[in-house]
């Protein structure tokens, strides 16, 4: 029978891209990971990874085995959650990844409620970004995290993860208060083809912005390249260019920016809560989900729902 620890080592290599990085993630030595992989291949009777220098690549069978491993680990986490659920008290530590500059207000209220109702549960908040959150969850640096999904269609949760939708936030064009279109309630993107754009090409929002501009018939002229939506809004407020941002993303001061509806485009940010599959039923996470549900129903909002299987 295959050893779960060896399967976890293979999964870590798939996630991290190298044996050395997998060893750091698993908090063990590189030689220990290498030995586990060699033993796993011996037990399986097939080659699971191709080694090229310091990098490794999984074979087709190795990739298929990792998919099974994700399901196995999810079942093990569910079993642990079942045992934890026998305790009357909710204790321990819950690590939550939050994008501090644009986190969900609903999530903030839920965490405060949990803190008041379960003082023995220690909540730790960490700064999270869309680019790294899924890996951080798999590495068990976070137990829960808030992420943003941009544009249609709905993207299924990555393997081994589960998602809940916390809210929808329409995307708006941000222009400085003195802009020629500042008195309008909406605009077509084609109206801004001659404007300098503040873009975030490495982010999902930045990539969507480029796609929307292309659909409007132009390539945006670069005024600035940044990697943070709050910086982009701040530069737009200073007159450096225009940008696209979620309506609820804050600006300082708010009066310096005007947000325009994008005509003929239905683009939104979906704010989602993400946890490891199988683990979401543990008491530590269940109390957060319950708090979100209670607050959502109390505000007559559409209840938060599980939207994708991991």
Find the range with the poorest average confidence among 15-19, 213-217, 273-277, 293-297. 293-297
Beta bridge partners of 51: 56
Asked whether 148 and 166 are in contact (CB, 8 A), the reply is no
Report residue 240: phi and psi, to 5°. Answer: -80, -15
Instruction: Look at residue 310 in the predicted model and tell me its pLDDT.
Output: 42
- Return the H-helix or E-strand segment holding 288: helix 283-298
* Residue 209 predicted with pLDDT over 60: yes
Q: Which pLDDT value is given to residue 214?
A: 95
| N-to-C CA span, the chain | 24
The pTM (predicted TM-score) of the whole model is 0.72
Residue 308 has pLDDT above 50, yes or no: no
- How do 186-187 and 92-98 pair as beta strands? unpaired
**For 116, what's the count of Cα atoms within 13 Å in the CB-facing half-sphere?**
7
Mean pLDDT, residues 214-221: 95
The answer to whether 12 and 26 have CB atoms below 8 angstroms apart is: yes
| pLDDT for position 155 | 62
Q: Is the pLDDT of residue 255 over 80?
A: yes
Question: Residue 34 — very low, low, confident or very high, per pLDDT cuts 50/70/90?
Answer: confident
For residue 26, the model assigns a pLDDT of 82
Residues 249 and 230: beta-carbon distance below 8 Å: yes
Peptide bond into 253 cis (omega under 30): yes
Distance (Å, whole) CA 262 – CA 257: 15
| Per-residue pLDDT tens digits for 102-152 | 666 778 888 999 999 999 899 999 988 888 888 889 888 899 998 888 866
Residue 249 · residue 172 · CB < 8 Å:
no
The pLDDT of residue 226 is 94
Give the model's pLDDT for residue 238: 94
Q: Taking residues 179-185, report their average pLDDT.
A: 94
State yes or no: pLDDT of 220 exceeds 70: yes
The reported pLDDT for the residue numbered 303 is: 46
pLDDT digits (tens, 9 = 90+) for 60-94: 888 888 888 887 877 777 777 666 655 567 888 89
Q: Which helix (H) or strand (E) holds 148?
A: strand 144-150
Question: Does position 205 have pLDDT exceeding 70, yes or no?
Answer: yes
Give one word for 180, left, alpha or beta, with left for phi > 0 and alpha for psi -120 to 50: alpha
Average pLDDT for 172-183: 95
> Do residues 218 and 186 touch, judged by C-beta distance below 8 A?
no
Helix (H) / strand (E) containing 257: strand 257-262
Report whether 173 contacts 113 (CB < 8 A).
no
pLDDT of 30: 87
Listed in sequence order, the residues at least 6 apart from 58 whose beta carbon sits closer than 8 Å to its beta carbon are 10, 13, 14, 48, 49, 50, 66
Give the pLDDT confidence score for residue 306 in this predicted structure: 43
% the chain with pLDDT above 70: 88
Is there a contact between 17 and 23 (Cβ–Cβ < 8 Å)? no
Which has the higher per-residue pLDDT, 156 or 195?
Answer: 195
In percent, the amount of the chain with pLDDT more than 90 equals 29
* pLDDT value of residue 46: 86
- CA 104: distance to chain centroid? 13
Please, which residues bridge with residue 92 across strands?
121
**Average pLDDT along the chain:** 84
**The dihedral formed by the CA atoms of 82, 88, 91 and 96, expressed in degrees to the nearest 10:** 60
Alpha carbon distance 219, 145 (integer Å) = 34
pLDDT band of 171, cuts 50, 70, 90? very high
């Amino acid at each position: 029978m295959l050893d779960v620890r060896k399967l976890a080592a293979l999964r870590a290599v798939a996630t991290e891209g190298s044996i050395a990085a997998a060893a750091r993630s698993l908090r063990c030595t590189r030689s220990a990971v290498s030995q586990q992989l060699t033993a796993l291949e011996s037990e399986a009777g097939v080659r699971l990874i191709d080694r090229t220098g310091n990098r490794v690549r999984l074979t087709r069978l190795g990739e298929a085995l990792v998919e099974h491993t994700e399901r196995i680990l999810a079942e093990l986490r569910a079993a642990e959650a079942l045992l934890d659920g026998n305790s009357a008290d909710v204790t321990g530590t819950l690590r939550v990844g939050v994008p501090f500059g644009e986190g969900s207000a609903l999530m903030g209220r839920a965490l405060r409620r949990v803190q008041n109702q379960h003082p023995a549960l220690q909540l730790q908040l960490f700064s999270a970004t869309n680019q790294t959150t899924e890996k951080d969850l798999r590495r068990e640096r976070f137990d829960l995290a808030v992420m943003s999904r941009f544009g249609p269609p709905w993207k299924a949760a990555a393997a081994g993860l589960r998602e809940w939708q916390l809210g929808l936030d329409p995307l708006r064009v941000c222009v400085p208060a003195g802009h020629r279109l500042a008195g309008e309630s909406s605009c077509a993107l084609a109206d801004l083809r001659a404007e300098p754009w503040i873009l975030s090409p490495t982010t999902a929002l930045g990539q969507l912005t480029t796609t929307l501009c292309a659909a409007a018939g132009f390539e945006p002229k670069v005024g600035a390249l940044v990697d943070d939506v709050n910086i982009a809004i701040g530069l737009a407020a200073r007159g450096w260019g225009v940008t696209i941002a979620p309506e609820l993303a804050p600006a300082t001061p708010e009066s310096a920016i005007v947000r325009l509806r994008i005509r003929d485009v239905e683009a939104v940010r979906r704010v989602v809560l993400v946890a490891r599959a199988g683990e979401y039923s543990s008491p530590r996470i269940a109390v957060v989900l319950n708090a979100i549900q209670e607050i959502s129903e109390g505000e007559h909002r559409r209840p938060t729902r599980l939207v994708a299987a991991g």
